[in-house]
């Protein structure tokens, strides 16, 4: 029964989610329907990660991590834009809050959980500090030029870029992302492959037979259906999320944190599974790759969308956020240098994430 459910659910859930999306489109939803939509949305996210993993297995590592990171970024961009279109208080900082939350969740939550799980099961799991260190450097650069600099530039006030500054930053972010992907998949691909206890690269293809082309194509189609459904259903319940946040007296910026947690759930699950299989490098590829995609693709996409969207686009981080970012990058650098995962470093990253969430609720 359980095996049958596991086989049928990844196919049925995206289709159910798509039908529910059509049924609820542009309608005011009662609480009971909102709960149903939320459950189906989570199911669609899990289905998306399943099909992304199938495609990822077919193309191999590190291409698989890229597939999942881009898929998650599509969900993130779609939710941000749909919420910005709906308007309302706080939407001018929604892109900033969501992108920064994604960085904190990936670089602290997913990294910390992976390090903790991997070290608890395997002692001192190894990863490649050259590839992971390069990823940390790219994250630090992207976050600084897109989310920190607008707080200090003088062309526009209030944490905003001027039009020319925003255009430059968007182009620079895409360029950095493209060069990183080229490095990860071509010239220095071995830096991003899982390693054994001696630090030697492991070929994932040696341990499992990749899915057939037919299975991969079906998963690709269902992945697209899942992504569309997640974005649409997220838009459908967004008024309820905003109302719930306001009702308990939490700052509206916390909506961005909620969005980031929803869209990064697939990454967290995949990274945890990889860590438990002693594939720490794959876990870190997923975590830092998602952070890079969240900034390198989301900010340029929002920059382009801002041409048609009403209202201002505030990208500059607040002082507390900048402090947490600096701490994250410092601890992340010290975590990467040894090339080994320990329970202590994993726990430290998780505490930093907890501090971020607590201060987002109670600034």
β-strand partners of 201: 195
The pLDDT value recorded for residue 206 is 47
Q: What is the DSSP letter of 317?
A: P
User: How many structural domains compose the chain?
Assistant: 1
CATH classification at residue 152: 1.20.1420.30
The whole-number pLDDT of residue 205 equals 47
> By residue range, what is the domain housing residue 115?
2-361
Q: What is the mean pLDDT of residues 43-52?
A: 81
Other Cβ atoms closer than 10 A to 209: 7
Per residue in 236-286, pLDDT (tens digit) is 887 777 777 777 778 877 877 887 887 787 778 888 988 998 889 889 988
The pLDDT tens digits of the residues spanning 156-206 come to: 888 889 989 999 999 999 999 989 988 888 777 788 887 776 666 665 544
- Condensed to tens digits (0 to 9), the pLDDT of residues 32-46 reads 888 888 889 888 878
| Mean pLDDT in residue range 59-71 | 67
pTM: 0.84
Q: What's the confidence (pLDDT) of residue 88? A: 60
Cα 64 from Cα 195, distance rounded (Å): 16
pLDDT at 328: 96
| Residue 118 · residue 275 · CB < 8 Å | yes
Number of residues in the chain: 363
What's the DSSP call for residue 297? T
CA angle 62, 65, 67 (to 5 degrees): 110
Determine phi and psi for 132, rounding to 5 degrees: -65, -40
Map tokens 């944490």 to a residue: 159
DSSP 151-167: GT-SSSSSS---HHHHH
Q: What mean pLDDT is predicted for residues 45-62?
A: 75
| Amino acid 192: pLDDT | 82
What are the beta bridge partners of residue 320?
none
Cα 269 from Cα 271, distance rounded (Å): 6
pLDDT more than 90, % of the chain:
28
| Of the ranges 175-179, 187-191, 214-218, 300-304, the best mean pLDDT one | 175-179
Q: How far apart are CA 351 and CA 45, in angstroms?
A: 26
Determine the Cα angle at 2 with ends 265 and 225, to 5°.
45
- Residue 4 pLDDT greater than 70, yes or no: no
């Amino acid at each position: 029964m359980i095996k049958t459910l596991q086989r049928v659910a990844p196919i049925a859930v995206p289709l159910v989610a798509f039908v529910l999306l059509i049924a609820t489109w542009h309608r005011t939803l009662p609480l009971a329907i909102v709960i149903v939509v939320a459950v189906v949305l989570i199911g669609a996210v899990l289905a998306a990660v399943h099909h992304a993993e199938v495609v990822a297995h077919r193309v191999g590592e590190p291409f698989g991590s890229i597939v999942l990171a881009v898929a998650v970024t599509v969900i993130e961009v779609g939710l941000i834009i749909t919420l910005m279109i709906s308007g309302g208080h706080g939407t001018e900082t929604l892109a900033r809050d969501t992108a920064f939350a994604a960085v904190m969740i990936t670089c602290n939550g997913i990294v910390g959980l992976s390090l903790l799980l991997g070290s608890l099961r395997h002692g001192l799991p190894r990863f490649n500090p050259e590839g992971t260190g390069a990823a940390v450097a790219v994250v630090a650069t992207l976050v600084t030029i897109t989310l920190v600099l607008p707080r200090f530039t003088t062309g526009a006030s209030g944490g905003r870029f001027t039009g020319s500054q925003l255009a430059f930053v968007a182009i620079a972010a895409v360029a950095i992302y493209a060069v990183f992907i080229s490095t990860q998949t071509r010239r220095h691909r071995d830096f991003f492959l899982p390693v054994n206890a001696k630090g030697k690269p492991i070929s994932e293809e040696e341990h499992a037979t990749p899915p057939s082309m037919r299975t991969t194509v079906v998963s690709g189609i269902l992945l697209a259906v899942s992504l569309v459904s997640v974005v649409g259903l997220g838009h459908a319940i967004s008024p309820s999320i905003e109302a719930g946040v306001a009702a308990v007296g939490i700052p509206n910026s916390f909506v961005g944190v909620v969005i980031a947690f929803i869209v990064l759930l697939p990454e967290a699950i995949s990274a945890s599974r990889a860590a438990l299989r002693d594939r720490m490098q794959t876990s870190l590829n997923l975590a830092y790759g998602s952070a890079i995609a969240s900034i390198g693709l989301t900010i340029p996409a929002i920059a382009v969308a801002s041409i048609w969207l009403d209202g201002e686009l505030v990208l500059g981080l607040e002082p507390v956020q900048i402090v947490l970012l600096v701490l994250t990058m410092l601890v992340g650098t010290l975590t990467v240098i040894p090339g080994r995962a320990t329970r202590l470093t994993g726990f430290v990253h998780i505490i930093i994430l907890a501090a971020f969430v607590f201060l987002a609720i109670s600034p």
